[in-house]
Amino acid sequence: MKSNRPKYKQIIDAAVVIIAENGYHQAQVSKIAKQAKVADGTIYLYFKNKEDILISLFQEKMGYFVEQIELEISGKESAQDKLLVLIKKHFQILSDDVHLAVVTQLELRQSNKELRLRINDVLRGYLNLIDSIIIEGKETGAFLPDLSVKLARQMIFGTIDETATTWVMNDQKYSLPKQAEAVHQLLLGGCACKN
């Protein structure tokens, strides 16, 4: 398995740093190679091309997201609690690794449509996680029985993503994790007054 070879992670991590610090379009392969302390050519022993570095980067990190969130979710009983954990963990991981946050929220979105379609494939695993919470919520009666899974997922992911992007764009001036509970509340209850 390629990801076991010594320089694989080295290059991925270098890519995160270089992209975060220089931006997507200034993240030349040679810069990544230098940061990873390997030769330019070595990159191509581990990755098919530059795009493959980015896909792999996203896979590794998004895999970590799913893994971490699944781990924490497993201890929770209700769909509502699971959703809270998902939001909290999502915000926590980004907050803990600002480089990663900049890369996923801003830089990687500058990739071309094709790359973004492939990134969406990777994202699928995360969206499935959200879907499973929604489905469980509907089954247990925690969520509305006629909730559209797709729409609900779009609202949940869209809101989390927009909140994270706004935070990054504002130079992380405030605490993202502290917003988790309010976001959770909002997603569950909506904007409207129930009087």
Partner DNA sequence: AATGAATGAGGTTTCATTCAT
Partner DNA sequence: GATGAATGAAACCTCATTCAT
Residues that bind DNA (CB under 7 A): 5-7, 25-30, 38-45, 49-51
Cα–Cα distance, 104 to 18 (Å, whole number): 13
- Sign of the four-CA dihedral 124, 129, 135, 141: negative
142 closest CA partner among 83, 79, 184: 79
Residues contacting 65, CB < 8 A, separation 6+: 89, 90, 93, 126
Residue closer to DNA by CB (options 47, 167) is 47
Kindly determine how many residues on this chain lie close enough to bind its own copies according to the rule CB under 8 A.
52
Of 5, 40, 151, 175, the one binding its own copies (CB under 8 A) is 151
d(CA 3, CA 168): 29
Cβ–Cβ < 8 Å for 76, 82: yes
Q: Which is nearer to DNA, 39 or 151 (CB)?
A: 39
* Residue 190 makes contact with its own copies by CB under 8 A: yes
- For residue 149 the two structure tokens come to 């899974």
Q: 186 contacts which partner out of DNA, its own copies, none, CB within 5 to 8 A by kind?
A: its own copies
For residue 139, state whether it binds its own copies (rule: CB under 8 A): no
In the list DNA, its own copies, none, the entry touching 142 (Cβ below 5 to 8 angstroms by class) is its own copies
Is 189 near its own copies (CB under 8 A)?
yes
User: Cα(99)–Cα(17) distance, rounded to whole angstroms?
Assistant: 6
Structure tokens at 129: 């996680």
- Which one of its own copies, DNA, none is in contact with 157 (Cβ closer than 5 to 8 A by kind)? its own copies
How many angstroms separate the CA atoms of 8 and 56, rounded?
Answer: 10
Residue 71 vs 144, nearer CB to its own copies = 144
Q: What angle (nearest 5°) sits at the alpha carbon of residue 72, between those of residues 69 and 78?
A: 100
Q: Is 128 in the site for its own copies (CB under 8 A)?
A: no
* Residue placing its CB nearer to its own copies in the complex, 40 or 67: 40
For residue 162, the partner it binds in DNA, its own copies, none, with Cβ less than 5 to 8 A by kind, is its own copies
And the tokens for 59? 């896979």
| Binding region for its own copies (CB under 8 A) | 23-25, 80, 83, 106-107, 109-113, 116-117, 120, 134, 137, 141-145, 147-148, 150-152, 154-163, 166, 169, 179, 182-183, 186-195
